[in-house]
Amino acid sequence: MMQVFSETQVEEHYKMSDAIRDIEQAFGHLEDIQQAQRTVIPTGEGAKAMLYMPCVDLKQQLGTIKITSITPDNPKSGKPTTQAQIVITSLDNGEHKAIIDGSYLTRLRTGALSGIATQYMSKAEAHILGMIGTGGMAYEQFLGNMEVRPIDTVILYNRTTEKAKTFKQRILKDYPNLEVKVTEDVSELVKQSDIINCQTPSTEPVFKAGDVQPGTHINGIGSYQPSMKEIDYNIFPKADWVVVDDLEGVKDESGELIEANDEGVFTFEEIDDELKTLSLNKQTRKNDEAITVFKCVGAAYFDLAVAVGAYQKLNQE
């Protein structure tokens, strides 16, 4: 009988450290993991759509498909824009085993990707985290950075400042010893932060490349469509190390890198690495002065890694 796991169940049993471990383990056997191109069916005005991301892991003999609905009008009635479920199938005998809420898992794997990037790319002593955007994806982005660096100070910016204040209360509840500041001045945030983490759907840059100081690491996870461009693309030629989660995905979906490529500011060929290479080779930044950028758009095999990990953990406990 099909198992059903709610968002709450997954959230209770499967944590950031699990997700980071499972994604790094997946990097170790990507040759066994095959994903098909995602399928998108538009269902209405704007970005309203259904998205389907199937993937199989021949080593673990498990397949997953993430089914995501995108309903841009939902926030007006207090509902989330994206809602996801992941179905898990045993390839050994073809049995469909479980359906797992994929909303937390999507946020978690995206936070884990930023965590992995921060671990390899940021300064070892990075302790000030600046967050631009405090919406639905922000909490797990915060957790991903907390997991890998001795963060003691968090600076928050959000277009609507009230929401940044609410987010401050949320993280102080869980981490009362943190220093948390809300700012309305993005330049200040950018200049003071060791790590800048952007998670907005912005169609224009949310900070100026000129404000970025030597030694800074930037994670950009907000843009996943060509129209979205939260990162000032002038940072790419200025950066010493530009890494992406999935090169093919980035070419199709990262608005800022597509624009930089189209305008000749920074071509796709100039991207230095995919995240898996850093993880497999335990590759870190060359020096403390380097500016480093990680751009993430997501891919089905990250969903597979955390869905399989959560499924296995939920069945052990």
Binding site for its own copies (CB under 8 A): 1-2, 4, 6, 34, 36-37, 39-41, 43-44, 48, 50, 52, 54-56, 58, 63, 65, 67, 69-71, 74, 77, 79-83, 85, 87, 89, 91, 93-96, 99, 101
Measured from the CB atom, is 74 or 312 closer to its own copies?
A: 74
Rank residues 69 and 312 by Cβ distance to its own copies and give the closer one: 69
State the Cα–Cα distance between residues 101 and 37, nearest whole angstrom.
22
What one-letter code names the amino acid at 4?
V
How far apart are CB 39 and its own copies at their closest, in Å? Answer: 5
Provide the minimum distance between the beta carbon of 83 and its own copies in the complex, in angstroms, as a whole number. 5
Query: Residue written as tokens 């955390």?
Result: 306
The nearest distance, CB 296 to its own copies, in angstroms, is 23
Q: Report d(CA 77, CA 151) in Å as an integer.
A: 35
Question: Would you say 137 or 190 has its CB closer to its own copies?
Answer: 137
- Residue 295, sorted as left (phi over 0), alpha (psi -120 to 50) or beta, turns out to be beta
Least distance to its own copies from the beta carbon of 108, Å? 18
Q: How far is the CB of 288 from its own copies (least distance, A)?
A: 44
In the complex with its own copies, the residue whose CB is nearer, 93 or 169, is: 93
Place of tokens 């990707």: 113
Least distance (Å) from its own copies to the CB of residue 50? 5
Measured distance CA(5)–CA(310) in Å, rounded? 10
Q: What are the structure tokens assigned to 30, written together? A: 């990507």
99-102 CB contacts, 8 Å cutoff, 24+ apart? 99/2, 99/3, 99/4, 99/5, 100/5, 100/10, 100/307, 100/310, 100/311, 100/314, 101/5, 101/6, 101/7, 101/9, 101/10, 102/66, 102/67, 102/68, 102/303, 102/307
From CA 106, how far away is CA 298, in angstroms rounded? 9
Q: Tokens representing 63?
A: 């397949």
Query: Which residue in this structure is represented by tokens 């884990």?
Result: 112
Minimum Å gap between C-beta 254 and its own copies is 23
Dihedral angle sign, alpha carbons of residues 206, 109, 299, 67: negative
For the CB of residue 21, give the shortest distance to its own copies in the complex, in Å: 25
Nearer to its own copies, 37 or 160 (CB): 37
Specify the residue, 37 or 281, whose C-beta has the smaller distance to its own copies: 37
89/279 with CB nearer its own copies: 89
Element housing 97 (H / E): strand 96-101
Nearer to its own copies, 41 or 282 (CB): 41
Query: What whole-number distance in Å separates Cα of residue 217 and Cα of residue 214?
Result: 9
